[in-house]
Amino acid sequence: MPNETYPVPPFQLMLPAGWEELPADESAVRLLVERSGAVFKSQHRPDLDAEFRRLMRTAAQKLKQGRVFALYLQTDVPAERVLPLSMTAAVADGQLGGTLDRQVTDLFREHGAEFLRDDHGIVRWQADTRARGDLEGTAARVLNYLIAVPGTGRRRALVFTTTIPYPTEEDDGFRDEFVDELCLLSDTIVSTFTWQAVDA
């Protein structure tokens, strides 16, 4: 993928048909919100639409801070087939210019992190967030994947974040199964990650 302007070395990520990598800017966030909003509207879930918009406002704030640099969207898929899932790529640096070792250790100890692949190159952890106030009754599964940037002495990492909003009311188990399937899709996409060789 062409990413010469990104704050990390070039990398490759195999995306499903109909998906596209876009530079993170306000127009890309609007496109993501509009397409996802169409999904929630077709499902008669304005509450999930509102929760997703809230999460995207947070992502937009990080975008303005320069941490998020790419979005992964379904841009060539009929509206009725767009999945309620978003993925971003961001850069993370160690505290006070140090390594990320302490943060990664905490992820394993406190957040149930695990390695996504056998080569231990990708650290994966997840959490469920619940909305409050007017959006009470909605939640989101947030998956994060941390990959150390080569040549930085583990002081900088690439972080993919996948957000999957869902309703919290009890159901017949379909909701949990659907969320798990979306998590598997996210894991599958990120597991294809490779750093791209740079010509000398």
pLDDT values of the chain reduced to their tens digit, one per residue, 200 residues: 445 557 889 999 999 998 988 887 777 677 766 766 666 666 666 766 676 666 666 666 666 665 788 888 887 777 667 787 889 999 999 988 899 999 999 999 999 999 999 999 999 999 988 765 544 556 789 999 999 999 999 999 999 999 888 777 656 577 788 889 999 999 999 999 999 976 54
Given this model, what pLDDT does residue 166 score? 79
Q: Is residue 10 part of a domain?
A: no
Burial of 99 (0-12, 13-18, 19+ CB in 10 A): middle
Cα 151-189-182 angle, rounded to 5 deg:
135
Q: Is residue 200 part of a domain?
A: no
What is the extent of the structural domain holding 111?
18-192
- What pTM value is reported for the model? 0.80
| Number of domains present in the structure of the chain | 1
Q: Is residue 4 part of a domain?
A: no
Q: Is residue 2 part of a domain?
A: no
Q: Is residue 59 part of a domain?
A: yes
Q: Is residue 199 part of a domain?
A: no
Given this model, what pLDDT does residue 130 score? 76
H runs (alpha helix) in 43-85: 46-64
